[in-house]
Amino acid sequence: MTTIMLPGGLKRLCSSVSGWHEFAFFRVWCSSMDGQESWPEIEKASKEKRRELVLQGAVIDEKISSNGGLCSTIYSLKLLNYLEIIQCPSLTEIHGDIKNLTTLTSLILCRNKLSSIPKTIGNLKSLKVLDISVNNLKALPEEITQLSDLNTLNVSCNNIDSLPDGLCHCTKLSTINISKNDITRFPDDFYRLDLLSTVIASENSIEELSGDVHKLSALKVLDLSNNKLSDIPYELSDCSKLKEINFKGNKLKDKRLEKMVNGCQTKSILDYLRAGGRGKGKGSKQADGDGDKAEGGRNAEKTQTKKQRKQKKKKNEEEEDEVDELNRLVVKVLHVSDNPGAFTVKVANELKDVRPYLVCCVVRGMNFRSGNALKRFLVAQTKLHDDLCGKRTTATIATHDMQLLKGPLMYDARPPPMLKIVPLGRKEMTAVELMRQLQLEAEDQRKQRKRQNVSGLHKYLQLLDGKELYPCLVDAEDHVISFPPITNSEKTKIRKTTKELFLEVTSSTSLQICKEVMDALIVKMAELNKFTSDHREEAGSEGESDAPPVPASDGTTSGELVIQQVRTVDPDGNLKVVYPSKTDLSTDVGNLNVIW
């Protein structure tokens, strides 16, 4: 509360009992004007001496907007180990008093509108996880480099143009995500992070990866896709623990290498770099140390006949074509007009203020029968939910066994007591019963773990806060097959025997995000299907044989996916969207071949 100098008359007024009551009213009024009313969430955390506090969603955002910021008493919770404040567009700054929370080990401030981070963050010496992704940050304070215990740093989806020098002082840094910013280079001392194992730096403007990358001895994952790289240093092949790399979307000088990064496995790319490729690699470096040998090589090249040069060029082109063909991902699109029985989804008007955006399609050709193919697909879907879908806050994916659906479908909005579903792994219940059950389970989790954050479906309960109607996808028999963003129906669950999938992506944000997520999902499915086709595994646990897939009746080849367009229409039958259209699936994946 603001300190106020009282005039003499008011001091005398306070000397009497009645006068004190009047002054007490004055104090309350001042507190109200100061915007520092206590919040029950913070009071509860203080009273129960909680180690964790999660504030998120529309209710908290409204409080922040009304108060002009966070309630200042939050900075007095000195026992906190975990603080999460997310999805609050009204949150534009964090007060410097955050320095008081010296026991914090995890600070999650993603999906807000923060324009800066206070320098006092350097006082949080115990901090291990810092997530300030999806904000409006243009720079990071140098004081971040004072966080010597920091293990995970996520600053993705901001407008940051550089990383602070001195990151090498974060000696325990293991994972860094700087994707979707405007960063042009890594600081020189970046390559001195001995424990750094994961670097996600996609969609920036990085022009060079230094040869010092080999000093990152713990590096396992490196994503530099969609940057401005022209070369990949051969020293990258010296990172002995490297398992996954992504350089897609960079215009490399070595065109064969550019084709390889768009389709080959990590091992093939590293072997190519290790051999020197066509550029200056280890082979040429060794040759530099042997002057006579290098001179002989140059003389031999001078005497090479025109015919020999042509033969070499032709051989190289054939090798490139072979690499290109081996790694090609084929997706064939069937137009809705070519299939009179194609599914149509009708969208109710009531969804306008609930979750209005939807795209759907049908996918054929996925092979889930072999080994861990289904498991890999589910893991990829979860990763898309966590990353591109923003933990289901921007979009949600649902997958169904097409053979278990009965169309046409209706995307509807229903009162919670009227929405009945058989959730995955549960018996039939109403949405009210399901939400209540999930809330009780979430409370049990918090008590058992003595932590406020929860796992599984329980993480998404707040996404429907304040909604009088819940979204759902309903089949022709009025069975709810999907309840986004919470769960799907057990009735249409995909299994190893699933041959045809119905995919849906819903969003409360935009139609474009639905299309982007669906694009990414289909590309990932094509990659997984090719991997399954190229790597024969033992049959799964459901007793299927590992016989070669039977060619589809539509003429598809092994590993090829067929996408059937699906139309969504309004209640009067007017077209809203058809997916995929000619403008969809236009990704930067160079080896993706879409056949219309």
pLDDT, tens digit, 9 for 90 and up, residues 97-106? 899 999 999 9
- Residue 482 pLDDT grade (very low, low, confident, very high; cuts 50, 70, 90): very high
What is the distance between the alpha carbons of residues 449 and 458, in angstroms, rounded to a whole number? Answer: 14
Question: What pLDDT is attached to residue 458?
Answer: 52
Q: Burial level of 563, CB count in 10 A (0-12/13-18/19+)?
A: buried
CB of 68 within 8 A of CB of 89?
no
- Whether the pLDDT of residue 483 is over 60: the answer is yes
3-state secondary structure at position 183: coil
CB of 354 within 8 A of CB of 463?
no
Question: What pLDDT is attached to residue 439?
Answer: 83
What is the distance between the alpha carbons of residues 484 and 468, in angstroms, rounded to a whole number? Answer: 15
Among 405, 397, 412, residue whose Cα is nearest residue 360: 397
| CA separation, residue 179 to residues 15, 200, 244 (Å) | 62, 6, 16
Neighbours of 192 (CB within 10 A): 15
Structure tokens at 390: 């923003």
Question: What pLDDT is attached to residue 225?
Answer: 92
DSSP class per residue in 190-228: GGG-TT--EEE--SS------GGGGG-TT--EEE--SS-
* Average pLDDT for 430-442: 87
What is the distance between the alpha carbons of residues 387 and 410, in angstroms, rounded to a whole number? Answer: 28
Strand 344-347 vs strand 129-131: parallel, antiparallel, or unpaired? unpaired
What is the distance between the alpha carbons of residues 87 and 57, in angstroms, rounded to a whole number? Answer: 5
CB of 578 within 8 A of CB of 565?
yes
* 464 Cβ contact partners less than 8 Å away, ≥ 6 residues apart: 435, 470, 485, 486
User: What's CA 257's distance to the chain center, in Å?
Assistant: 27
* 119 Cβ contact partners less than 8 Å away, ≥ 6 residues apart: 96, 141, 142, 143
Note if the pTM is more than 0.85. Answer: no
Q: Quickly tell me which residue has 């010092």 as its tokens.
A: 212
Q: Which residue has the higher pLDDT, 63 or 327?
A: 63
pLDDT, tens digit, 9 for 90 and up, residues 237-293? 999 899 889 999 999 999 889 888 887 778 888 988 988 764 444 443 443 444 444
User: What's CA 105's distance to the chain center, in Å?
Assistant: 22
CB of 100 within 8 A of CB of 94?
no
CB of 227 within 8 A of CB of 202?
yes
* Average pLDDT for 387-394: 83
Question: What pLDDT is attached to residue 453?
Answer: 55
CB of 270 within 8 A of CB of 282?
no
- Fill in the DSSP letter of residue 410: E
